[in-house]
Amino acid sequence: MAGLAISANDLLLVADVQNDFCPGGTLAVAGGDAVVAPINRLGRRFPHVALTQDWHPPGHTSFASSHPGHQPFDTIDLPYGPQVLWPDHCVQGSPGAAFHPGLDLPHAELVIRKGFRQDIDSYSAFRDNDRRTPTGLAGYLRERGFRRVVLAGLATDYCVRFSAIDAREYGFEALVIEDACRAIAGGDAYIQALGEMRAAGVLILNEADFPA
């Protein structure tokens, strides 16, 4: 699919390229900072760009520290379903919540902050993990006339995956640029995440599939 054309109806959606998800951060994704250069290159090709930003209040329910007796990466049941417990990360206003300093997308038109409700986590750019509470992104895309969402960022198997699948459910085309993403999990879990996206109608591509 080399030379895939970029149109005015496309939006590059960059997921959570924040300090806490990059090396040295409290929830670092292996090689997380390696997405910065390809995303910057892609950003110069796309006229329309939006960003997501994890934005948790202190003591957020997704933090293992909020649940005595539990450790990071345990899974517990919350009123909205299973929840992986994470190290404290992307706390509102903290250096870890800031975008990676190398990210260079000055023409980005929107920042969607998510995970700011105390008692519910949010992986998807479109809705919280209760699958009911919207972020408003779908309405924004429709009012702006966007039809295709092209995703990159962190992490492939969480925020990118949930956002891509939700984009399809909300009626948009969705493409994931695999080499402009990095995942938390590898092996079978990573293959499963890709399979779930493909099953939902998400195309998995690479940076080279878009014209320079």
In terms of Cβ atoms closer than 10 Å to its own Cβ (0-12, 13-18, 19+), residue 73 is exposed
pTM: 0.96
| Catalytic residue list contains 54 | no
Structure tokens at 108: 């980005």
What average pLDDT does range 71-93 have in this prediction? 96
Give the pLDDT score at 108. Answer: 98
Domain-embedded: residue 194: yes
Cα(164)–Cα(95) distance, integer angstroms? 27
Whether 168 shows a pLDDT value over 50: the answer reads yes
Domain that holds residue 45: 10-55+95-209
181, β-bridge pairs: 153
Question: CB-hemisphere CA count at 13 Å for 75?
Answer: 4
Domain-embedded: residue 62: no
Domain-embedded: residue 155: yes
Whether 3 shows a pLDDT value over 90: the answer reads no
Residue 165 and residue 137 in contact, taking contact as beta carbons nearer than 8 Å: no
| Catalytic residue list contains 159 | yes
Peptide bond into 212 cis (omega under 30): no
| Catalytic residue list contains 114 | yes
Q: What does the DSSP assignment read for 81-102?
A: EEEE-B-S-SBTTSGGGSBPTT
Residue 58 and residue 97 in contact, taking contact as beta carbons nearer than 8 Å: no
Domain-embedded: residue 129: yes
* 186: confidence class by pLDDT, cuts 50, 70, 90: confident
Give the pLDDT score at 212. Answer: 76
CA end-to-end span of the chain, whole Å? 14
* 134: confidence class by pLDDT, cuts 50, 70, 90: very high
pLDDT tens profile 18-73 = 999 999 999 999 999 999 999 999 999 999 999 999 999 999 999 999 999 999 99
Catalytic-role residue among 33, 88, 90, 159: 159
Question: In this structure, what DSSP letter does residue 18 have?
Answer: B
Whether 1 shows a pLDDT value over 50: the answer reads no
Catalytic-role residue among 22, 33, 114, 181: 114
Q: What angle do CA 27, 20, 54 make, to 5 degrees?
A: 100
Domain-embedded: residue 17: yes
Average pLDDT score over the chain: 96
Whether 140 shows a pLDDT value over 70: the answer reads yes
Give the pLDDT score at 105. Answer: 98
What average pLDDT does range 151-167 have in this prediction? 97
How many folded domains does the chain comprise? 1
CATH number at residue 175: 3.40.50.850
Give helix then strand counts, H and E, for the chain. Answer: 4, 8
Side chain identity at residue 130, one-letter code: D
